[in-house]
Structure 1
Amino acid sequence: MRSRNRIAAALAVAALVAACVGAVPAAAAAGPATLGLDYHCTFPLLGPQPVHVDLTATVPDRVEVGEVMPGIVVDSVSAVNAESARGLTALDATTLEGHALADAMLTVPEMPDGLPVEVDSALEKTSIPASGGFSVKGRGQAPDLTFTQPGPGKVTVGNLVLTLTPRTDDGGESGLGTFESECTQDPGQNNVLASFTIGDTTEPAHHTYSLKGSSTLKSGGATVPLTGALNAEVNGTDVTTGLTLAPSKTQFQLLGFLPTTADVAFAAQSEPGTYKDGVLTAKAKVAASFPAFSVFGAIPIGGGENCRTSAPSDMALTSATGFDLRQGGDLKGAYALSPLADCGALTGLLSSAVTGPDNPIALTLTPDDE
């Protein structure tokens, strides 16, 4: 009986971790959360037995009204000790399988009394070694969620029902058969696994960022270091950005062998952008001017105050999914530069080295207003 007690307790730990952690919703910005809980689980022939569970999960810091959060998948691993393994093998069990049904509660402004959520987590079929302990892996997934009202949210973890089957070599059930175990959470515990904020980007908001990054002028392979600023006016999913880039310098090999330095300045005119489903897209019309070109760092060969691209070009900078306007992040894109004009006698040659399509740009935004 003591062996069965240890077996059931070890299996309960594995199933509780798999099922309870799976109840956490996804988020655009996330961080780790930990929670320890004590349960009493009722096992065949043994009655209620104490089980302690330590949970670790990735939880949301903030989500936005109307944004779909895909249900996240969380994997868990629970160690079963050698003594429990010996108890299972004594009953001719060689593998273990099953699932766990966990009760969780989601509380958000539109559901102040809470929304019950059941998460069914499968436990992988696991081989039981002849000696020593082993690990049981579990996987659970929460449903997709969309919120309609801003405010605080939280996820609490409740009770659990385990369905477990130890099996013999031929695939048949061991002496324990398939059994259910109801696990009741001990009273008086903090059972809040996750707390988060639901934001509302439908209200106009202003964000300012400093930026750092680079762009490559593809035709000549010149890398342009970039610094500057970006401000974003957000109204619902509509975004108006102001992009300012500081003057810079770049170097390339003119005609493939002449070391050339160019002063370069970008001017950007804002175009309507978007912030939707956690993705920021900033758009602008971009022109470039080249006040000076020199070879060997000293000999002027072109440029001037009127040396610039002949027409502005479209630029779209896009973030990865999960961009948080409060925290900033990375934007990437590409743009074309139209041919140069008014750069002196070598305008055509210089233009071929620094203009053309598909010039990549990558920027990192750091918030000034948070």
Structure 2
Amino acid sequence: MKCRNLNAGVRKLGPAIAAAALMAGGGQAAAAPVSLTLDFSCPFPLIGDQPIRAEISADIPATATVGNPTPEFEVTALTVVNEDSRTGLKLVGSETVEGSAVSYNEVVTQSRTLDQIVNLSIPQTPIPNETGEFTVPATGNAPAVTFTDQDVGEAEIRVGALSLSLIARTANGDIAPAPIGEIDTDCTQLAGQNNLLQTIMVEGDVVETPRIAVNREEVAFGNVQAGLTEQDTITITNTGNAALGINGISIAGADSIAFMQTNSCSTIAPNAACDVDVTYIPSGEGSQTATLTIASTDAENPSVDVALSGNSVLAPVPEIGVNPGSVDLGRLLLGESSSAQVTVSNSGNETLLINGISLTGSDASEFTQTNNCTTVAPDQSCTIDLAFTAGAVGVSNAQLVIASDDPENPEITVPVTAEGYEETGSVIELLLALEGSTYIKSSGSTLPLNGSIATALDLASGTFEADLAVDPTVGNFSIKLLFSRLNAVANVEFEQAEMTTGTLINGELTANSHLYVKVPRVALKLFGIPFKVGGGDQCQTIEPVDITLTSPEGSNFSPATGGNVSGEYTLPPLENCGLLTDVLNQFLTGPGNTIDLMLTPEQ
């Protein structure tokens, strides 16, 4: 059976049956019919995302009463399956089709959103042998909805997403071959459409109720000098539909004497508000707390508490902070420079005075510092710029010393270090062009390879580091699917995971490369028409491919003339390649793959 020949069949079968499932978009009894046409996108095997246009029809009442469930009723839909879909099903020996569908809808009221899930059954339906269209039925019940007082007003039924579960069976009752035999797909409603199916007026007795809302759960004043005061505001709002009475506002707790409140709140109209001004009057030294309580006529929430806190300090003081606590300017080649910044902050409630900033220690002269630090206001900061130029081989250490008027930390020391080194050996840079091919064992196919490798070779040690760039390529593969082999074309790209490293000693080259292999597109040809069956921007090996290349023994590989290299490697599995990821892994991954390249110096 050639499952790939179902391109046209699957393309039209999915939308046909999906239309039947969507006929249950909502439902009530004894009302005028409503209908709505929407476009969806559904992912299907082989052909990817496909469009669906469905007409949703139901009888939904225009009014509903609080406390009375809306009636359930049966939804029946008849969908015409066209000749191309019938032919596609027959190609894999299908005699019947059956399944189920779920329509995910929402009932949106004045105060909440209710999920409405409609389950539909698609009974076993014969697929006729005669040419022409045939009909597939789908039936189900829309669930009842019970509205409450909070829903009074206008409610909307909106159609959402769709899930399909379809089964095609052969004459003996077996499920038809994959991937057509069983199809599970989640369809997405295309954006920008009006998905309103029906508007319902929910009727009931409106109860007038006051509701209190307070904008603060706590008021924290922080550090305040004793003898001074700090003020903040709490807002009370009535979110109900009746006047809210404020029965009292009071402050209690161990330190209630440190807090005072004033307000003009008595009766608050619906959607109106009033303010409560809270003043902190610190005394002594230390933290102080209390609780402000608001009593109201809200029956559900008659008392609301707001936590109050503050910290009384005898006098304002600065508080220095330094970040980072140590600085490493790194390992530098002689003559190279590096820099870093140190931030000095003030988390106190008084201006911080910087008395001096200096570098000390045996190697202090090898470092420099500049800064904009003189005074630092509360909650502000300044920066110190450190720099180092490697003038000698070895590690250099110094201390950055910051003196200030912070009474607890008048002097802070930040360790500073750096290292200078001298480059050894003679390094030459080469640009080599690469040309060759790689053999994929799992599919018995060969991909052409071209690109370049930029190499920095240390002649003294014989080691090198290289930047490998392999051009995108295209390969032809043979895919075994069901009882057939189909020809596929794959676009293949390579992304370097890390630098290539290796050695060139006595004319023998060894190189270790690490590349991600990407497959942005895989296409088949059915009936002479190419179509994409996998790949994508995220389709790649789950880990880098590790390839070790060596020159032939006795070939005397030279940087001046280049030479041949070859190797064997394993292709890790692919991921994120669409519905046929497993199929792609059968002919694009696995061990025993070989690579042969010719490296030629570019002039």
8 Å CA contact 1:102–1:161 kept in 2: the answer is yes
Distance 1:8 1:172, change over 3 A: farther
Q: Secondary structure at the match of 1:67?
A: coil
Aligned residues, how many? 199
Cα distance in structure 1, aligned partners of 2:42 and 2:11: 9
Match of 2:71 in 1: 70
Q: Deviations over 1:196-255 (max 9, x none)?
A: 11122799xxxxxxxxxxxxxxxxxxxxxxxxxxxxxxxxxxxxxxxxxxxxxxxxxxxx
| Residue 183 of structure 2, aligned match among 175, 179, 182 | 179
Q: Does 1:194 align with 2:198?
A: yes
Alignment of 1:92-241 (within 5 A): 92-111=93-112, 114-131=113-130, 132-149=132-149, 150-175=152-177, 176-200=180-204
Cα distance in structure 2, aligned partners of 1:134 and 1:46: 23
Cα distance in structure 2, aligned partners of 1:183 and 1:72: 25
8 Å CA contact 2:40–2:190 kept in 1: the answer is yes
Alignment of 1:1-370 (within 5 A): 1=4, 3-18=6-21, 20-27=22-29, 29-111=30-112, 114-131=113-130, 132-149=132-149, 150-175=152-177, 176-200=180-204
Cα distance in structure 2, aligned partners of 1:85 and 1:16: 16
8 Å CA contact 1:21–1:140 kept in 2: the answer is no
Give the residue type in structure 2 aligned to 1:187.
Answer: A
Q: Secondary structure at the match of 2:89?
A: helix
Cα distance in structure 2, aligned partners of 1:191 and 1:9: 23
The percent identity for this pair of structures is 32
Give the residue type in structure 1 aligned to 2:170.
Answer: T
8 Å CA contact 1:23–1:141 kept in 2: the answer is no
Alignment RMSD (CA, Å): 2.0
Q: Deviations over 1:54-76 (max 9, x none)?
A: 22221211111222222221100
Cα distance in structure 2, aligned partners of 1:9 and 1:51: 9
Cα distance in structure 2, aligned partners of 1:162 and 1:74: 17
Give the residue type in structure 1 aligned to 2:93.
Answer: D
Q: Secondary structure at the match of 1:109?
A: coil
Cα distance in structure 2, aligned partners of 1:154 and 1:167: 40
Q: Deviations over 1:273-297 (max 9, x none)?
A: xxxxxxxxxxxxxxxxxxxxxxxxx
Cα distance in structure 2, aligned partners of 1:6 and 1:190: 30
Give the residue type in structure 1 aligned to 2:172.
Answer: D
Q: Where do 5+ consecutive residues of structure 2 fail to align? A: 208-603
8 Å CA contact 1:23–1:140 kept in 2: the answer is no
Q: Secondary structure at the match of 1:3?
A: helix
Superposition deviation, residue 11 in structure 1: 3.5
Distance 1:194 1:6, change over 3 A: farther
Distance 1:118 1:35, change over 3 A: same
Normalised by the length of structure 2, the TM-score is 0.32
Cα distance in structure 2, aligned partners of 1:169 and 1:13: 22
Cα distance in structure 2, aligned partners of 1:189 and 1:104: 15
Give the residue type in structure 1 aligned to 2:40.
Answer: Y
8 Å CA contact 1:24–1:72 kept in 2: the answer is no
Q: Secondary structure at the match of 1:86?
A: helix
Cα distance in structure 2, aligned partners of 1:81 and 1:73: 26
Q: Deviations over 1:65-91 (max 9, x none)?
A: 222222221100000011210111111
Q: Deviations over 1:109-153 (max 9, x none)?
A: 342xx1122222111110000022111110121222211132111
Superposition deviation, residue 159 in structure 1: 1.2
Higher relative contact order (CA closer than 8 Å, sequence separation 6+): 1
Normalised by the length of structure 1, the TM-score is 0.50
Q: Deviations over 1:23-66 (max 9, x none)?
A: 41314x41111111111110011110111112222121111122
Superposition deviation, residue 193 in structure 1: 1.3
8 Å CA contact 2:96–2:169 kept in 1: the answer is yes
Distance 1:2 1:95, change over 3 A: same
Cα distance in structure 2, aligned partners of 1:9 and 1:82: 9
